[in-house]
Amino acid sequence: MNTLLLVAGREIRTRIRTRSFIISLAVSALLVVGLAFVPKFLSGPDTYKVAVVGPTPAAVENIAFTPYPDEAAARAALAGGDADAALIDDRKIVSEGELDQRLGLLLENAHREAKIKSSGLVITPLQVETGADAQYEGVRTGIATLLVMVLFFLLIYSAMYVAMGVVEEKSSRIVEILLAAVRPWQLFGGKIVGLGTLGLINLGVVIGAGLAAASATGLVADLPPGMTGIVIGTVLWFVLGYAFFSALAAAFGSLVSRQEELNSVLTPMTTLMTLTYLVAYFAAVEPMGTLARVLSIVPPFSSMVMPVRSAATEVPVAEIALSAGLMVVAVVAVLLAGARVYNRAVLRTGARVKLAEALR
């Protein structure tokens, strides 16, 4: 175990200093932060500035009124960008270019309300009532879609590093000296643990950046309850998914002796991952569908579909338990088979080793 940690430590130390790791960390964090700002950007400013000539209307939420002496001064303020619109003598609205739809409605509404009030009529506004699920549906779908992208990116990139590391040791022949000192499973396991730790660090940065951006933009108020559960669940599912795919990556990688051959030998793994990504994306959009429900139980699809489905909607605990149990079994099976293939193939340099031969 000690040796396994030594191997893992080397992986972390050498990889964490590389430019590619730092870049991927920065890119994924920026992506998430950027996406957190999108709703704010699309929804326009929080407070509109309106230049007023003549009587100032009663206070309206989200609008700041500034009085101006005459229409010309108000128009000048508009042109200078000091106001989003101008209200002239309670009679007309002037704007530069198209009038913001929401601002238009707010002003129109305020105008009508003032007129109705002055006529003595009382109107009770309609009450709005929504289901608990529906209330956060939009945000949950948003988070789930984001999660799909982040999980897929991190899984495929971490697994690729595992495969590349295996081939690096095989092609440089250093594996022969390594295996004279350590057992194959220690090398296999150490690589997976080390690069997995880096993947977790990256996931942590992404989640941290996402939450920080959400609180900076005020989006955090819109987050559904149980976010902590979603975050913990995501991390655990990432660990399971990573263990599964990285074991595949290490096993397939050990079959070839040159980096150039890596892409073709990894095709089954990348295909499986892409498939998982597609169904998970589908599940994010339609979390209640049959496909999402079934595939969130079946490994290895569950590793991405379940966290996405849990983010998008409430999933019964029994289903989560069943799904996690099956995934753990699949992970153990793949780790054992992968270690076996690795053990048989990693010293056979030269031509690509056939998978069936290595498994026998």
293 or 348: whose CB is closer to another protein? 348
Contact mark string toward another protein, 115..154, x via CB under 8 A: ----------------------------------------
Q: Could you give the CA distance from residue 170 to residue 9 in angstroms, rounded to a whole number?
A: 19
Contacting residue, 10, 92, 115, 258, with another protein by CB under 8 A = 10
Provide the minimum distance between the beta carbon of 183 and another protein in the complex, in angstroms, as a whole number.
Answer: 7
13 or 102: whose CB is closer to another protein? 13
Contact mark string toward another protein, 14..33, x via CB under 8 A: x-------------------
CA angle, corner 13, sides to 11 and 14, nearest 5? 70
CB atoms near residue 82 (< 10 Å): 13
93 or 179: whose CB is closer to another protein? 179
189 or 300: whose CB is closer to another protein? 189
Q: What is the DSSP letter of 313?
A: S
Q: Could you give the CA distance from residue 276 to residue 155 in angstroms, rounded to a whole number?
A: 11
Cβ pair 38, 213 in contact under 8 A: no
Strand spans (E) along 54-149:
63-67, 85-88, 92-94
Which of helix, strand or coil describes residue 94? strand
- Using the rule CB under 8 A, give the single segment among 2-10, 136-144, 278-286, 332-340 that binds another protein: 2-10
208's CB contacts (< 8 A; 6+ apart) are: none
Which of helix, strand or coil describes residue 28? helix
Q: Are strands 85-88 and 48-53 parallel, antiparallel or unpaired?
A: parallel
97's CB contacts (< 8 A; 6+ apart) are: none
Could you write out the DSSP letters of every residue in 158-206?
A: HHHHHHHHHHHHHHTTHHHHHHHHS-HHHHHHHHHHHHHHHHHHHHHHH
Q: Are strands 92-94 and 63-67 parallel, antiparallel or unpaired?
A: unpaired
Q: Does 1 bind another protein (CB under 8 A)?
A: no
Contacting residue, 27, 174, 332, 351, with another protein by CB under 8 A = 174
70 or 176: whose CB is closer to another protein? 176
Contacting residue, 16, 33, 139, 182, with another protein by CB under 8 A = 182
Provide the minimum distance between the beta carbon of 9 and another protein in the complex, in angstroms, as a whole number.
Answer: 9
- Using the rule CB under 8 A, give the single segment among 23-31, 92-100, 166-174, 292-300 that binds another protein: 166-174
Cβ pair 311, 234 in contact under 8 A: yes
6 or 321: whose CB is closer to another protein? 6
Place of tokens 């440089």: 172
Provide the minimum distance between the beta carbon of 7 and another protein in the complex, in angstroms, as a whole number.
Answer: 8
Contacting residue, 16, 77, 164, 178, with another protein by CB under 8 A = 178
- Using the rule CB under 8 A, give the single segment among 30-38, 179-187, 255-263, 323-331 that binds another protein: 179-187
Contacting residue, 3, 95, 197, 217, with another protein by CB under 8 A = 3
Q: Does 179 bind another protein (CB under 8 A)?
A: yes
Binding to another protein, residues 315-354 (CB under 8 A): 347, 349
Provide the minimum distance between the beta carbon of 156 and another protein in the complex, in angstroms, as a whole number.
Answer: 23
Q: Could you give the CA distance from residue 277 to residue 303 in angstroms, rounded to a whole number?
A: 10
10 or 112: whose CB is closer to another protein? 10
Provide the minimum distance between the beta carbon of 347 and another protein in the complex, in angstroms, as a whole number.
Answer: 6
Contacting residue, 89, 108, 133, 176, with another protein by CB under 8 A = 176
Q: Could you give the CA distance from residue 44 to residue 335 in angstroms, rounded to a whole number?
A: 51
Could you write out the DSSP letters of every residue in 32-62?
A: HHHHHHHHHHHT--SSEEEEEESSPPSP-TT
CB atoms near residue 29 (< 10 Å): 19
Provide the minimum distance between the beta carbon of 154 and another protein in the complex, in angstroms, as a whole number.
Answer: 23
Provide the minimum distance between the beta carbon of 31 and another protein in the complex, in angstroms, as a whole number.
Answer: 28
Residues in the site for another protein, rule: CB under 8 A? 3, 6-7, 10, 13-14, 168-169, 172-183, 347, 349
